[in-house]
Amino acid sequence: MLSDGGSRVITAYGILNTNIPRRMALYGIPFPGQYLVGPDGRVRDKQFLDDYRDRPTASEVLLKDFGAGGGSQVEVRADEIQAAITLSAAKAFAGQELGFAVDFTVKQPWHVYGEPLPKNYTPTAVRFDDIAVSRQALRLPQPQPLKIAAVGETLPVYSGSFHGTGTVVLKRTLKPGNHQLSGRLTFQECKNELCKLPRSVDFALPITVEPAAAAARR
């Protein structure tokens, strides 16, 4: 921790947290950020956040950048698609952010859709229920354009194997104990001459919510 009287260095670097009003005692702090530096001195990843209260956990960084997930995993299989969904940690506190990864495999010659899409198609998505999650996001790779002669359209698709990473923020109202992060995988399988109806497959991942540490007595 370095002292920065008057936030002069913070302002010079352009990271003064402008979301905090001047009347608040916290005014003058920076936007939180972190760099992941490899043994060779190169920056492997970086992240800056809008809210000082929500920070990525070490387990989230390990899963995103190294594929090392310490949490539960579930495999979803349906028709020609398989998805392995992994949490970054098995335990967390209420209000904490966790990472998750999804490894997809689509059998040839089928494909599933990315975005953006016309309204009559269903994109591939993993969505957690709002019962235990207050905020979530999923990042998928750039889909490949595919010209489908049968309908005269070029659409964004995924085929073969592809990988996505995301984040979930547990609700602050979750009680300590064992919980299930339920959700669903949504997709539509197609090949050049045939499209199946859109499908949603439910899944659940166990997570243990730990009690908050008791405040130290003075």
Condensed to tens digits (0 to 9), the pLDDT of residues 138-164 reads 999 999 999 887 778 899 999 999 999
Q: How confident is the model at residue 216 (pLDDT cuts 50, 70, 90)?
A: very low
Other Cβ atoms less than 10 A from the Cβ of 177: the count is 9
Please tell me the predicted confidence (pLDDT) of residue 186: 96
- Say what the pLDDT of residue 126 is: 97
Specify the fold of 57-210: Immunoglobulin-like (2.60.40)
pLDDT at residue 117 tops 80 = yes
AA identity, residue 123: P
Q: Is the pLDDT of residue 42 over 80?
A: yes
pLDDT exceeds 90 at position 34: no
Please, where in the chain does CATH 2.60.40.10 lie?
57-210
Does pTM top 0.85 for this prediction? no
For range 206-213, the mean pLDDT:
88
pLDDT for 54:
64
Reduced to 3 states, what is the DSSP secondary structure of residue 28?
coil
Amino acid at 14: G
CB 175 within 8 A of CB 100: no
Residues 55 and 32: beta-carbon distance below 8 Å: yes
User: Residue 46: which pLDDT band, with cuts at 50, 70 and 90?
Assistant: confident
In whole numbers, what is the pLDDT of the chain averaged over residues?
A: 88
Average pLDDT over residues 34-42: 85
Predicted confidence band at 182 (pLDDT cuts at 50, 70, 90)? very high
From 18, 60, 63, 66, select the one nearest 38 (Cα to Cα): 66
How far is the CA of 158 from the CAs of 2, 71, 106, 139, 146, in angstroms?
A: 47, 26, 8, 14, 9
Q: Give the chain's radius of gyration (CA, Å).
A: 21
